[in-house]
Amino acid sequence: MDLSTEICGIELTGPVLNGSGTFDVLAARRVFGDALVEEFPFDCYVSKTITMNPRPGNPPYRLWETPSGMINSIGLPGPGLEGFLERDLAGLAELGVPLIVSVMADCAEDFEVLVRRVAARDEVAGIELNVSCPNVHSGLIVGEQPSETEALMKALRPITGKPLIVKLTPNVANPEEVALGAEAGGADAVSMINTVKAAAIDPGDNRTWLGVGAGGLSGPAVRPIALAQVRVVAAAVEIPVVGMGGISDAESALEFILAGARVVAVGTENFRDPRAGSAVTSGLPAALARRGFGSLAEAQSARLD
């Protein structure tokens, strides 16, 4: 069955991406060798979030297992923009699939630098904007405010003709309003959901478990929340939706397509199986056929009753 598709003009061999920050290809290549590239599990690779300056990440503990999921508070460790462009980007360009680079900043000025520098590189097909950081000027988390999101997009849109994808947070009452703000500002797509705010209590001590107190929940535990939000957002905007949140197999991936996502991303499941993306892809034809679809495109254009 033909699974090829596209997302805002980026041609894809299939609809399966990875969630940003859930698959470090440079580390995985050290561990698994060239098999990682030869059998690359995704149709498009989304980098972990790049920031202006290097970041060490949050103090431990960073992980907590929950029923059907996990909480993380990793804190975006990374080499910073220069380190990424000089050292990491070349390795990400060897994968043979389109590359989307995720960026985050705490002000529009830094966002502009990140987008300009990253978009200028031929290896980069598109940019995902991680807007779950507070704006240093307003103190507001950009992605929680439709107006802030629209204003940021309006500032970034003139910089590049490459696709700009806004990663939406689920931690708002009305995600479709933020999505509409992104669309009005010129976004080419939205991806959703980011993790759900969550905390855990240390079983052996009267304190929070995670080093910074709270984090984000992911895995199948959040899938129903993600499906509801994807459905609402896909109905509200014209631009395509990258759907994610607890996808663990082809069936759950197809649920997101039916909820209105054009393509999907596998995140936490990668931790359980490094080839989870391939497992989703290989199961899609049967999952589509079981629901009566003759192609991926049929499912993408189907609407739920």
| Residues that bind another protein in the complex, under the rule CB under 8 A | 21-24, 26-28, 30-33, 35-36, 39, 56-70, 72, 74, 77, 209, 219, 221, 268, 270-275, 278
Smallest gap from Cβ 58 to another protein, in A, equals 8
Q: Which of 8, 44, 107, 133 is catalytic?
A: 133
Report the phi/psi class of residue 162: left, alpha or beta, with left for phi > 0 and alpha for psi in -120 to 50: beta
Q: Using only the alpha carbons of the chain, give its radius of gyration.
A: 18
* Closer Cβ to another protein, 63 or 133, answer by number: 63
Active site residue 107: no
Smallest gap from Cβ 161 to another protein, in A, equals 32
Q: How far apart are the first and last CA of the chain?
A: 25
- What's the angle, vertex CA 45, arms to CA 44 and CA 48, rounded to 5? 155
Residue 184: which of 237, 235, 223 has the closest Cα? 237
* Closer Cβ to another protein, 90 or 289, answer by number: 90
What is the token pair recorded at 261?
């996502």
* Closer Cβ to another protein, 39 or 94, answer by number: 39
Q: Is 31 helix (H, G, I), strand (E, B) or coil?
A: helix
* Closer Cβ to another protein, 62 or 262, answer by number: 62
For the chain, helix, strand, coil in percent to 5 are 40, 20, 40
Active site residues: 133
